[in-house]
């Protein structure tokens, strides 16, 4: 009989040691029953998150297996994106309008503002606005705010050329383009755009610029 008691005592001691130092057993304030090890950790329910310390009045505690965690309800975002009073909410940006995105609480909308334009197109300096382009003349169009005019390319440099005389080797946008520049005394200097950039190709005098 004494031998049986000794065996049972050793078995109980072995079971207690096997639970580990981080395991709380029933009888030590654990939640488990029948002397089983309690391994469940407390967790915050859906819609809340665990915090180190309470920062709001609706903070609450969750207990399990002699452990306690603090939980706070997840922040609820109620802000709605809105356009300014001078803007219009649109699905796509209309032509001629300025648009911007406005976001709040994960929702994004598009706000549009009509652009008012009262400018008038202008020709290059020295060129002349005409109703129709004269025969054998070089003309181009200028646009602004929905208005288009015809310009007589009367002054140097020609339309589409750099406004000032380029330097040798300066980059140029259009191969084989020739631009003439008034250098005074009724004379002009000519430059050609080639694969090496702008290249001086001479000029002339006695031409009405």
Considering the chain, what percentage of its residues have pLDDT values greater than 70? 81
Please give the structure tokens belonging to residue 67.
């452990």
H or E, element range at 46: none
Q: Is 68 left (phi over 0), alpha (psi -120 to 50) or beta?
A: beta
**pLDDT tens track for 25-67:** 333 444 444 445 577 888 898 878 888 888 878 888 898 888 8
Q: Report d(CA 23, CA 41) in Å as an integer.
A: 11
Instruction: Check residue 8 and give its pLDDT.
Output: 39
Residue 118 per-residue DSSP state: -
In whole angstroms, what is the distance from residue 89 CA to residue 112 CA? Answer: 6
The burial of 10, by beta-carbon neighbours within 10 Å (0-12 exposed, 13-18 middle, 19 or more buried), is given as exposed
Q: How many other C-beta atoms lie within 10 A of the C-beta of residue 18?
A: 9
The pLDDT value recorded for residue 118 is: 81
Domain boundaries, the chain: 30-76, 79-116, 118-155, 159-209
pLDDT digits (tens, 9 = 90+) for 76-96: 788 899 999 999 999 999 887
Over residues 154-182, mean pLDDT: 93
Separation of CA 208 from chain center: 53
């Amino acid at each position: 009989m004494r031998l049986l008691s000794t065996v049972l005592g050793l078995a109980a001691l072995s079971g207690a040691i096997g639970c580990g130092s981080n395991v709380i057993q029933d009888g030590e304030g654990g939640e488990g029953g029948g002397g089983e090890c309690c391994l469940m950790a407390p967790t915050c329910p859906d819609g809340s998150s665990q915090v180190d310390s309470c920062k709001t009045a609706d903070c609450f505690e969750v207990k399990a297996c002699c452990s306690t965690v603090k939980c706070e309800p997840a922040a609820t975002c109620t802000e709605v994106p809105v356009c300014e009073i001078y803007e219009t909410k649109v699905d796509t940006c209309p032509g001629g309008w300025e648009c911007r995105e406005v976001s709040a609480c994960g929702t994004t909308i598009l706000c549009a503002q009509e652009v008012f334009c009262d400018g008038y197109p202008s020709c290059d300096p020295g060129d002349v606005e005409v109703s129709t382009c004269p025969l054998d003349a070089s003309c181009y169009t200028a646009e602004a705010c929905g208005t288009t005019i015809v310009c007589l390319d009367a002054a140097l440099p020609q339309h589409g050329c750099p406004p000032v005389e380029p330097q040798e080797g300066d980059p140029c946008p259009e191969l084989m383009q020739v631009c003439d520049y008034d250098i005074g005394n009724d004379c002009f200097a000519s430059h050609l755009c080639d694969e090496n950039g702008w290249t001086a190709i001479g000029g002339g005098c006695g031409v009405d610029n």
